[in-house]
Every structure is written in structure tokens, then in C-alpha cells.
Amino acid sequence: MVAAQRFNTSTGNPISWILGVVTTGSNWKFLRLEDQTVSIDFDEYLISQIGKILGIFTESLKTIGRATVGDPII
């Protein structure tokens, strides 16, 4: 996430925030990097909770849709 943030900044395309996802395939965890602050969702989502997992992705995409035109998506 930090590497993506640095790359985008160095190429003149700074982004507001980055969503991070760690998964084993059956267990999912989410993070968000905004500026120099990492927010960690300490909940662990199981694949049986696919509705919640997809909800997190959906809300993130809605936020991206409201981002400034020209912001890259990583």
C-alpha cells in the first residue's frame, strides 16, 4: 500500500487513500491507508460472510466514484 502510494505520488498522480485486503481465500481482513495513517478493521470476515465482504468492496467503489476525476485506482 505504501509502495502504491509512493509510486502514484512520484508520477504526479497522488491518490486520497488505498484499500488493502489480506486473504487466505476463506478469511478476509481489510485496511485503509490515508496519508500516513493506517486504519485496520480488526474484524476477520469468513467466506461464509460473503455479503459483508462484497459490501466492503461496494462501499469502497462508491467512494472511488466520488473521487476527483483523474484519480487513479489501485
Q: What are 16-66's pLDDT values in tens digits?
A: 889 999 999 999 999 999 999 999 999 999 999 999 999 999 988 887 666
Measured CA to CA in angstroms, residue 65 lies from 23, 36, 59, 61 at distances of 25, 22, 10, 6
Give the confidence band of 70 by pLDDT, cuts at 50, 70, 90.
low
- Each domain of the chain, given as residue ranges in start order, spans 2-65
Instruction: Say if CB 17 and CB 6 are below 8 A apart.
Output: no
Name the pairing type of β-strands 37-46 and 17-23: unpaired
Dist. CA 48–CA 27, nearest whole Å: 9
pLDDT of the residue at 44: 96
Q: Grid coordinates standing for 74?
A: 489501485
7 touches 72 (CB < 8 A): no
